[in-house]
């Protein structure tokens, strides 16, 4: 019998989410402006670190045990990258709120797409399976 694999786990740091820690702090607009630049790879990585806990919670909310949370988390990270490009530095909305809304929409769209697609059909049994194997 093949060994059953555990489902991927997205770890949440509930202690930091409950306090007044980093998940609610504002992301500096100068950092976002730097991330929008051609050489802003380090700034983009810093933004992903700052928004990581929010993405993990959002992933758990959206997945609802219906889809692979690890895949949704990666989609959320990509959405944050797109949000950096779409964000206007002069807009009133805080970047964290903007990016989380952007990621939430991307995750929900991906989840809906995955849940609508039928599961791939099982492979037909081989001749050896039907004969009991040799």
Give the residues of the chain that fall short of pLDDT 50.
Answer: 1, 16-21
d(CA 57, CA 42): 24
- What's the pLDDT score for residue 26? 85
DSSP assignment string, 37-91? STT-HHHHHHHHHHHHHHHHHHHHHHHTTTS-HHHHHHHHHHHHHHHHHH--TTS
Place of tokens 């980093």: 22
How many Cβ atoms are within 10 Å of 95's Cβ, its own excluded? 24
What residues does each domain of the chain span?
Answer: 27-115
- What's the pLDDT score for residue 1? 47
Q: Give the fold, CATH level 3, of 27-115.
A: Rna Polymerase Sigma Factor; Chain: A (1.10.1740)
């Amino acid at each position: 019998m093949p060994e059953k694999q555990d489902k991927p786990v997205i770890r949440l740091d509930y202690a930091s989410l409950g306090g007044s820690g980093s998940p609610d702090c504002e992301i500096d607009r100068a950092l976002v402006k730097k991330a929008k630049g051609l050489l802003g790879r380090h700034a983009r990585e810093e933004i992903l670190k700052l928004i990581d806990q929010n993405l993990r919670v959002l992933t758990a909310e959206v997945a609802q045990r219906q889809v692979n949370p690890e895949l949704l988390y990666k989609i959320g990270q990509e959405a944050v990258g797109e949000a950096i490009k779409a964000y206007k530095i002069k807009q009133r909305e805080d970047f964290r709120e903007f990016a989380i809304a952007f990621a939430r929409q991307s995750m929900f769209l991906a989840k809906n797409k995955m849940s609508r697609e039928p599961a791939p059909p099982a492979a037909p049994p081989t001749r050896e399976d039907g004969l009991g194997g040799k």
